[in-house]
Structure 1
Amino acid sequence: MAVYADLHIHSPFSMATSPSMTPAALCDAAALKGVGVLGSGDALHPEWRAAWERYEDGTGTVVLPTTEVEGKGRVHHLIVMEDFSCFEELAAVFAPHSRDLLTGGRPHVRLGGETIAAAVHDLGGLVGPAHAFTPWTSLYASHDSVASCYGEEPIDFLELGLSADTSYGAGIPELDGVPFLSNSDAHSAHPVKLGREFNRLDLGTVTPKAAFDAVKRGKVTLNAGFFPEEGKYNRTACTRCYRQYTLEEAEAHAWTCPIDGGKIKKGVQNRAHELGGGGDRSGRPPYYHIIPLGEIIRVVLGVSSPTTRKVEARYARLTDAFETEIAVLAEVPPEEIAEVDLEVGDAIAAFRDGRVNLVPGGGGKYGTFSFL
C-alpha cells in the first residue's frame, strides 16, 4: 500500500512556529493534504510528547515519533523512533548535555554526530542529517563527509532539504545506498507548509510500526518536493541584499558582498557540485517536483499571499472535489481539474509538463516561479 509521509515538522515549542499547531490541527491538515504518515516533531519535549500521547485521532493519520536536534558544529540531526517512550529514554541520555531540553522543541545537544547516532541506535531508533546541504546548520555546511561527522556510526537516511532534490545527493559517492527523505520541516499546520515535501512509503499495513520499518528498510518509492530553485538557499548569495554570485566571484570577494557588506553564503547547488564525483544515480526512486496548491492558486489569481480568502476558497473547492491536495497535484488528470477550475487545471498541466519558469532563491530568500 502506497502512503504519503512527512516526517519532519515542529511544534509550538520550537522557534518561529505557529501557536495554533496542536495534534488535532496537524492531523486535520495532514488528512486534507493527503499525508497518511506524519512525524510528530519535537518528541523530546515533555509537554509536546504528552500532548500526542493523550490525543485520540479521528482522521486515520498515523503519527510516527520524530524530533530534530542540533549537535556540535551546528549540525542538525533528524531522529525517528517507533514509540514515544523511546524519546523519554533518549531525553534522559541527552539531559546532561543540553540546557534547553525541557524548553526548546528543537534542543541543542552538546554531543558530536557519532555519539548522538550511537545513542539513537542503542534505543532502536533511526537517525540521519536533516536538510543536509543547508549552508547554516547542516552536515555539509560543517563537514566534507558523513564519516567526519558520524564516525563509525551509520546513518539510516539523509534528508535532502527544500533547496535540493535527488540529483543533488545522488552524485555524491559516499551516499550510495543511503535512502533520501524529503520532508516539509513545517513550522505551521497550514497546507502551504505542511506536506510541501513528502515521501511515498510502501506499507503492508498503515501502522506506526509499518511506517518505521519502511523507513528503516529504505522502502521509499517516491520523493516529492520543491523544484530546488524554489528553496531559499539554492544559489550562492548575499544574506542581506540577496544578490547572487558565482562561486568564483564569492571567493574573490572573500565571501563579503561588495554592495552592502553582507555575508555571502554558499548555495546548495554549488555545495552539492563540490561534493559530487560520480555517485551511483541508478536505483533511486523518482523525484516528483511539486508546487504547493495554495502557491499555484496565488500565482493564478495574481495575489501576494497564499492565505488570502480568495485563495483559500479556490483551494477548498478543489479539495472538496478531489479529497486531498496531493491528489490534485499528482494524481487527478488536469482535464478533470479544469472542469472544477479551468485556470488551476491549466497551471497543474503546466507544472506537470515542466512548463515552469524558475527564478532561483539564495541567501535566505525563496525562489519564485511562473507558468509558461
Structure 2
Amino acid sequence: MILNADFHIHSLFSMAASKDMRPQKLLDSCVIKGIDVIGSGDAIHPKWRQMWDDPDINYHGVTIIPTAEVEGKGKVHHLILMKDFDTAENIYSEMTPFSRNISTGGRPHVALTGERIAEIVHNNGGYIGPAHAFTPWTGMYGKFESITECYGSEVVDFLELGLSADTSYAAGIEELKEIPFLSNSDAHSPAVNKIAREFNRIKVSSNSVKDIISAVLNNRIVLNAGFFPEEGKYNRTACTRCFRQFSALKAESFNWKCPDDGGAIKRGVHDRAKYLSKEGFTTKRPDYVHIIPLGEIIKNVLKTSSPNTKGCLKLYAEFIREFDNEINVLLNVDPCELSELNAEVGLAVEKFRSNEIILHPGGGGMYGNFEIPYR
C-alpha cells in the first residue's frame, strides 16, 4: 500500500497560523489535496489535543499521526512524531518545567538542549529529528556543524529537509547516510496551496499509525515531493535587508555585512549544504519530485495576484472535480488530458515535470519565484 503523507503542520494556536486551522477544515483539505496521512501538528498543546476528541469529526479515511514542533535552546526547531496523544501529554508534562508558553503556544519554546529534548521524547516512546534542518535561523545546520553537536548521544530518527532544500542538498553529507529524509509542508493554513505543498510517499502494509511510523523509521519512503528549493526564502546567500545575493566567498570578504545598506548577509541553504557535503560522497535516495501547487499554477496562468480569486478557485474546483485530487493532477494525469480542461495548465504541468521551469532563487528571507515558459 502506498500513502501520501505530510507530517508537519501547525494549529490555530501557533504564531502566524490561520484561525481556520481546525481539525475538520484540515481533513477536508487533505481529501482535496490527495493526502492519506496528516500530522496533527502542535500535539503538545492541551487545547489542540482536546479538539481532536470531537466525535463529530469526519476523518474521510485520513490517518492522524500526533506530531509537534518545539523550539529548543539556540532557537533550534525539532520535529516530533508520536504513536498517540497520550504520549504527547506525557511529553508535555515533562517539558512543562522548562517552558513558559507550553500551554499557550502551538510551537512552544523549551529551554533545553537538543540532546535533552530528544531524551525526553525517546523515553516516552516518541521519535525526533531536526525540523527544516538547513534553515539559517532555526534549523539544526544553521546553528551546529553536526548532528552530534546538537543531539549528543541521542539517536536522530529522521531529518526534515525544509522548503529551501531537496534530497540533493543532503545526500552528500556523510553523517546523514542512514537517516531518512522527510519533506513536509510546515503549513500554517488549511488552504490547499499550503497543505502538502511538500509531502512524502511511503510504502506500508496498512494505514495504522504503527505501520506509518515504522515506514518512516525504516526508510520505506518511496518518493519525496516538494518545492524547487530555489523557491525557498533562504535558498541563496543574501542580505536580509535589501535581498541582494552574494556568493559565500564574496559575503565572507564583506564580513557578512551588505556593502549597499549595511544589512546582515545570511548564508543560504545552498551554500551551507555545499559546505557540509563531502566531495565525491553521495547516498542512494528515493526520487525527489519538484512540484508547484496547482493553485499557484492557475494563478500564474490567469495572471492574478492570488490563487484565492474567484476565477482561480473556480478553475481549481473544475480540475478536482474531473481528476479527483490535486496530487493526481500534479503527478499522474497525462498533460494532454489536463489540456482538454485548460491548455495552459496542462502545458505548465508538463513543463515542471520535465524541469523546464525558469527559477529566480530566493534568499535573505525573500521567497524565490518561477516562470513557466509557455512557448
| TM-score interval, smaller chain | over 0.9
Whichever residue aligns with residue 9 of structure 2, its letter is I
**1:30 equivalenced with 2:30 (yes/no):** yes
Partner secondary structure for residue 295 of structure 2? helix
Which region of structure 1 is more displaced relative to structure 2, 249-258 or 312-321? Answer: 249-258
Cα distance in 2 for residues equivalent to 1:18 and 1:121: 31
**1:137 equivalenced with 2:138 (yes/no):** yes
Equivalent position of 2:303 in the other structure = 302
Cα distance in 2 for residues equivalent to 1:280 and 1:61: 38
Cα distance in 2 for residues equivalent to 1:125 and 1:217: 15
Residue by residue over 1:145-164, the C-alpha shift from the partner in whole angstroms, topping out at 9 and shown as x without a partner, is 00000011110000000000
Residue by residue over 1:55-93, the C-alpha shift from the partner in whole angstroms, topping out at 9 and shown as x without a partner, is 532411111000000011111000000100000000011
Are the aligned partners of 1:223 and 1:288 in contact in 2 as well (CA < 8 Å)?
A: yes
Are the aligned partners of 1:172 and 1:278 in contact in 2 as well (CA < 8 Å)?
A: no
Q: CA, structure 1 residues 87+271, in 2 after alignment: closer, same or farther (shift >3 Å)?
A: same
Partner secondary structure for residue 53 of structure 2? helix
Equivalent position of 1:20 in the other structure = 20
Are the aligned partners of 1:128 and 1:155 in contact in 2 as well (CA < 8 Å)?
A: yes
Whichever residue aligns with residue 243 of structure 1, its letter is R
Are the aligned partners of 2:172 and 2:283 in contact in 1 as well (CA < 8 Å)?
A: no
Cα distance in 1 for residues equivalent to 2:225 and 2:145: 26
User: How do 1:92-103 and structure 2 match up within 5 A?
Assistant: 92-103=93-104
Cα distance in 1 for residues equivalent to 2:34 and 2:335: 18
Partner secondary structure for residue 53 of structure 1? coil
1:53 Cα deviation after fit: 2.6
**1:162 equivalenced with 2:148 (yes/no):** no
1:245 Cα deviation after fit: 1.0
Equivalent position of 1:52 in the other structure = 52
**1:312 equivalenced with 2:294 (yes/no):** no
Residue by residue over 1:203-225, the C-alpha shift from the partner in whole angstroms, topping out at 9 and shown as x without a partner, is 11112222122112221111000
Identity of aligned residues (%): 54
Cα distance in 1 for residues equivalent to 2:108 and 2:130: 15
Runs of 4+ in structure 1 over 6 Å off: none
Equivalent position of 2:43 in the other structure = 43
**1:124 equivalenced with 2:125 (yes/no):** yes
User: How do 1:325-340 and structure 2 match up within 5 A?
Assistant: 325-340=326-341
Whichever residue aligns with residue 224 of structure 2, its letter is N
Cα distance in 1 for residues equivalent to 2:212 and 2:32: 20
Cα distance in 2 for residues equivalent to 1:278 and 1:220: 26
Equivalent position of 1:321 in the other structure = 322
Are the aligned partners of 1:2 and 1:200 in contact in 2 as well (CA < 8 Å)?
A: yes
Residue by residue over 1:88-118, the C-alpha shift from the partner in whole angstroms, topping out at 9 and shown as x without a partner, is 0000110110000000000001111111111
Partner secondary structure for residue 271 of structure 2? helix
Whichever residue aligns with residue 345 of structure 1, its letter is G
Cα distance in 1 for residues equivalent to 2:350 and 2:130: 34
Cα distance in 2 for residues equivalent to 1:69 and 1:296: 33
Equivalent position of 1:204 in the other structure = 205
Cα distance in 2 for residues equivalent to 1:280 and 1:111: 33
Are the aligned partners of 2:82 and 2:125 in contact in 1 as well (CA < 8 Å)?
A: yes
Whichever residue aligns with residue 7 of structure 1, its letter is F
Equivalent position of 2:235 in the other structure = 234
Equivalent position of 2:265 in the other structure = 264
Q: CA, structure 1 residues 285+197, in 2 after alignment: closer, same or farther (shift >3 Å)?
A: same
Cα distance in 2 for residues equivalent to 1:95 and 1:168: 36
Instruction: Using structure 1 for the length normalisation, give the TM-score.
Output: 0.98
Q: CA, structure 1 residues 206+280, in 2 after alignment: closer, same or farther (shift >3 Å)?
A: farther
Equivalent position of 2:172 in the other structure = 171
Are the aligned partners of 1:174 and 1:279 in contact in 2 as well (CA < 8 Å)?
A: no
Partner secondary structure for residue 43 of structure 1? coil
User: How do 1:3-18 and structure 2 match up within 5 A?
Assistant: 3-18=3-18
Instruction: Using structure 2 for the length normalisation, give the TM-score.
Output: 0.97
Partner secondary structure for residue 249 of structure 1? helix
Are the aligned partners of 2:180 and 2:217 in contact in 1 as well (CA < 8 Å)?
A: no
Which region of structure 1 is more displaced relative to structure 2, 254-263 or 108-117? Answer: 254-263
User: How do 1:349-360 and structure 2 match up within 5 A?
Assistant: 349-360=350-361
Are the aligned partners of 1:183 and 1:198 in contact in 2 as well (CA < 8 Å)?
A: yes
Cα distance in 2 for residues equivalent to 1:53 and 1:179: 31
Equivalent position of 2:83 in the other structure = 82
Q: CA, structure 1 residues 140+58, in 2 after alignment: closer, same or farther (shift >3 Å)?
A: closer
Cα distance in 1 for residues equivalent to 2:307 and 2:62: 25
1:281 Cα deviation after fit: 3.0
Are the aligned partners of 2:200 and 2:221 in contact in 1 as well (CA < 8 Å)?
A: yes
Q: CA, structure 1 residues 282+149, in 2 after alignment: closer, same or farther (shift >3 Å)?
A: closer
Whichever residue aligns with residue 262 of structure 1, its letter is G
Cα distance in 2 for residues equivalent to 1:232 and 1:334: 30
Partner secondary structure for residue 206 of structure 1? coil
